[in-house]
Amino acid sequence: MDEAGRIDYSRAKLVAYNHGNYYALGKALGFFGYSVAAPEVLKRRMEALR
């Protein structure tokens, strides 16, 4: 958990399983609605992911 009481996914060591292999998950690449977001929303939301 972070200081705000939210799950800190960057420290969670998440993995994905695909066709018999496990992969580490890295930084977030986007969010729901990324492809249709207005430029100001896109900038604000992507900065929040860092």
What is the reported pLDDT for 36? 95
Instruction: Kindly list the averaged pLDDT for each block of 10 residues, start to end, along the chain of length 50.
Output: 86 89 85 93 88
Tokens matching residue 32 = 């729901």
Beta carbons of 42 and 36 less than 8 angstroms apart: no
**What global pTM score does this model have?**
0.51
Strand (E) or helix (H) holding 42: helix 39-49
Distance separating alpha carbons of residues 24 and 11, to the nearest angstrom: 12
